[in-house]
A = this chain, B = another copy of it.
Amino acid sequence: MAPEYEILNPETVPAYIARTDGLKDVVDTSTLEVSEVGDGNLNLVFVCKDGNGNGICLKQSLPYVRLVGEDWPLTPERVVAEARGLKAAVDHVPDLVPAYYGLDKENYVLAMENLMGWDMWRIQLNLGKMHPGVGAKLGRYVAALAFYTSFFSIDQGEIKERLAEAINPELCKITEDLVFTEPYIDVENNSYVDELIPEIEGMRADARLRAEVGMLKYKFMTAGEALIHGDLHTGSVMVRNGDNGGECKVIDPEFCYYGPVGFDLGALFGNYMAARARAAVLNRPEEYQQWLADIGPETWDSFESEMRRLWPERLDKTWTESFLDAWLAQVAKDTIGYGGCKANRRIIGLAKVTDIQELPHEEHVKAATMVLRTASTWIRERDELATVAKANDVFNEVRAEVLG
């Protein structure tokens, strides 16, 4: 499984940039400083900065999962998927993603804007720092992908071709396994503290919950609605200028494929839930907790109003306003359900989140319990809840129950 292409390292990156059209003019390679910062699980990431303060970021995929090694082979084509996801957003919400500089399909290298001075949103949330307006921007990001990559704005025949071209089965399988399957069965990838066992065993024995998780997984596997990011958690969002109208940029769309629009929103909502649980057990200031509580509705309202703003531009005007209402109602239910799935997996499954994981033991148990209970109710009752406001209420009730 050794790669059959050139694997970059900090020493070879300047020469690589210098010989690559589209990249060599972005930075001065004679004064380039390169560091490999791939803290993620999958790829090499080279952050490059030249003497003039210009930067570039190269992301190279390996033919295996970096975290695990050659024992877990994974298609390097994922960087092609990432380029596809990035370009789709660059075309319509350029302010919300890094600039795109090029894709080298032979060596699986994606070149993009270096986000110097930006911070990962999850870490900022963990620190209790507010970035007002980021939720609304993410709602706009999801709406732009939903509208501009679907048959709402592209010819039906071309959409089918794009869907076929964008299948991403290996990456989708990771989501299918880690998000929808493993948390609900006893497998080695799972881990959790003993105090959570009764809650988790209760979930596994709950036939209704298992059925609903299955239905959400089935939709993830079969619904080709729009090109979605596929992994839109708060660690895939970079932020800055929190004190001054927060800015954000969405990164890492390598899981992108044609899937259900509510999955991206659900990923955000599941991670908002984790952030809220952390803030609750750490007893963060009321202002901060309220800001966090409002992010879900803010994201949704922005998504909805952006969809309604774009709707008059739809390619085929025979789609009615009443259809848009029904569609939005369905996406809201999907969002709540996927939010629950994304939250549960972060407590039980292989890929944890620092929001909850790095809390002191007692707080960890409380926050995790809060997430599991809220998430399971979201999954089971998403049709009855129907709105993100009511889903938020569930969290409030569970929080009161857990904190006593």
Contacts and interface: CB of A to CB of B under 8 A. Distances in A.
Interface of A: 151, 156-157, 159-161, 163-165, 167, 169-170, 172-173, 176, 181, 184-185, 207-208, 210-212, 214-215, 218, 221-225, 318-323, 325-327, 330
A185 B173 CA distance: 42
Q: Assembly of this chain: how many copies?
A: 2
A141 to B, nearest CB: 20
Contacts of A173: 156-157
B214 A322 contact: yes
Contacts of A208: 322
A222 B223 contact: yes
- Of the candidates A210, A222, A223, the one having the most CB atoms from chain B within 10 angstroms of its own CB is A222
A327 B170 CA distance: 25
A181 to B, nearest CB: 5
A155 to B, nearest CB: 9
Contacts of A207: 320-322
A218 B156 CA distance: 11
A181 B318 contact: yes
A227 to B, nearest CB: 12
Contacts of A218: 323, 327
A163 B164 contact: yes
A358 to B, nearest CB: 30
28 contacts: A151-B221, A156-B172, A156-B176, A156-B221, A157-B169, A157-B173, A159-B169, A160-B167, A160-B169, A161-B169, A163-B167, A164-B167, A181-B318, A184-B318, A207-B320, A207-B322, A210-B320, A210-B323, A211-B322, A214-B319, A214-B320, A214-B322, A214-B323, A214-B326, A215-B323, A215-B330, A222-B225, A223-B224
